[in-house]
Amino acid sequence: MSESDSPLLDKQQHIKYWQRCHKTYLPSPYTAYDSTRLTFACFIISALDLLSVPLTSSERIAIRRWVLSLQHPEGGFCGSSTHALPGQEAYKGTANIAATFFALVLLGLAAENEEEAKSAFKGVDRVRLLKWLRGLQREDGSFGQNLWDGKIVGGRDMRHSYLASCIRWMLRGDVKEGEEGWVEDIDVDKSVAHIKRGQTYDGGVAESSQHESHAGYAYCAIAALSLLDRPLDSTAVHPPENALKEGVPNREGLVQFLASRPFSYLPQEEESDEVEENFIESKLGETDYGHIGFNGRWNKKADTCYCWWVGGTLSMLGNTSIINVLPSRRYLLDITQHRIGGFSKAVGGPPDMYHSYLGLAALGTMGDYDLKEFDVGLCCTQETTKKLIRARDGLLENSAPQDTTEPKADTQAAWSDDKRRKFETKSKSEFYDPCQEAAQRSYRCLFRNGGDKNMCGEYFQAYRDCKQEWTEKRRKEGKGWF
């Protein structure tokens, strides 16, 4: 196939898909993921930004209000209001590192322009958040997911190291010890050392050198190191890649691992269960490799998201020439792009928000002209990155004791002991989705009846009726967003 045969991104269908996700109910499989609502919100708004779909003024205000309402009194952000339940020591340890990253990016996205972005982080308790982040780091340099009773919870996941580097870059700034707003930094050297220990025998990256290498971990490791190398001052010149050089002992091996991830999509294999031809013995010139996807591990099939994890990592390493862009685009746009918009995980599947966003991210990294320019390290548009820089600068300019009120959006101020007590004694209907009990009854019915939905129709209908009534009430009161 020639370059003129390259398929096009069905931009209008993708816009419709993301607008449905934004403004209507999500499909039922998402119900179980309510605790990651902030993540889905960031995917939706970031995708619309990438597709050049502007938000309305009321939507921007609602997003800010909702995100700031999830700020934890001891630092960080919760993933959903349902993380905090009355009477359950709600404020004890519900903030997590992933939700905090997505919250900060969403606040940047909610700013209409760079000038407005200067106040995007207004209401964020920067000092408390950075102290909380420092508390998540272990002695070996790894980061946990959250704190519970002051103890670090969560594995030594490379994703946590990436998220910590992003949060640090977005909030810290080049504040020297003794200056207003200074907070003890994370131990950068230990973080780099932890990432360095994650490289495996085959050149890839895992949680540790004894685990299976994975392209997603490779991205997180390289992006974390790249963020540690980024200047913390918007006026500073980009320094040499010290962390990246130190944190990847076998760079050639990593590139080789990533270069081994392309995976040819052969329609013959999908159409027949029997192997009709020995592709190993066939001449390479006789086989059409028009659609090239990527897998993330050895002996796995191609998957939409790995076009991003592999392509993004190679981009940060400066080895994009390894990727043959045209067949990679064909794989995404011919094979996993869905007719209703979005991307599926693999051929024949339904679209989902995770793969739909990372499919767009992969195309953005390839320089698709229908999409805004993309920041590979932060996984958002370069325009959003500029807003985040402005937000950080604006927050540092006001790093004296902060006025965290937001008159336009009616956001929450820092939590006093009295406010905490009120928080603990809120009634269920005041604090979180009152339809959760109806949802639980539905799933208990499914469990009792072996997953037969026909036996539980009245329970699911009761949940839908409750949700519709509650959502309409919240809209009329001007409360909440998602």
142-146: Cβ within 8 A, 24+ apart:
142/191, 142/194, 143/97, 143/191, 144/97, 145/96, 145/97, 145/98, 146/76, 146/93, 146/94, 146/95, 146/96, 146/97
Q: How far apart are CA 340 and CA 291, in angstroms?
A: 21
Q: How far apart are CA 245 and CA 316, in angstroms?
A: 12
User: Are 430 and 402 a contacting pair, CB within 8 Å?
Assistant: no
Q: What is the pLDDT of residues 408-418, one digit of tens each?
A: 444 344 445 55
User: Are 304 and 332 a contacting pair, CB within 8 Å?
Assistant: yes
User: What's residue 347's pLDDT?
Assistant: 86
User: What's residue 89's pLDDT?
Assistant: 52
Confidence of residue 208 (pLDDT cuts 50, 70, 90): confident
What is the average pLDDT across 224-229? 97
User: Are 379 and 369 a contacting pair, CB within 8 Å?
Assistant: no
User: Are 197 and 255 a contacting pair, CB within 8 Å?
Assistant: no
Q: What is the pLDDT of residues 80-107, one digit of tens each?
A: 887 755 555 545 558 999 999 999 999 9
User: What's residue 319's pLDDT?
Assistant: 94
